[in-house]
Amino acid sequence: MQASSLNLSLDYCELSFPVYGQQLPADHGYGLYSALVQKQQTLREQPWLQIQTISGIPDHKGIISLRKNSVLKLRLPLDKLPFVLPLSGQEIIIGLHTISLGIPRINALKATDHLKARIVTIKNHEEPESFLEVAHGQLRDIGIQADIGIPIDAEGKYDRKTIKIQRYSVIGFGLHIWGLNEQDSILLQKVGLGGKRRMGCGVFISVS
CATH 3.30.70.1890 corresponds to the domain 12-107? yes
In DSSP terms, 14 is beta-bridged to 75, 107
Region 114-206: CATH code: 3.30.70
Strand residues in 26-82 grouped as ranges (E): 50-51, 57-58, 63-65, 71-77
Apex 150 CA angle, 123 and 198, nearest 5: 45
| Domains in the chain: boundaries | 12-107, 114-206
Per-residue pLDDT of the chain (208 residues; tens, 9 = 90+): 333 444 455 699 999 999 999 999 999 999 999 999 999 999 999 999 999 999 999 998 999 999 999 999 999 999 999 999 999 999 999 999 999 999 999 999 999 999 999 999 999 999 999 999 999 999 999 999 999 999 998 888 999 999 999 889 999 999 999 999 999 999 999 999 999 999 999 999 999 7
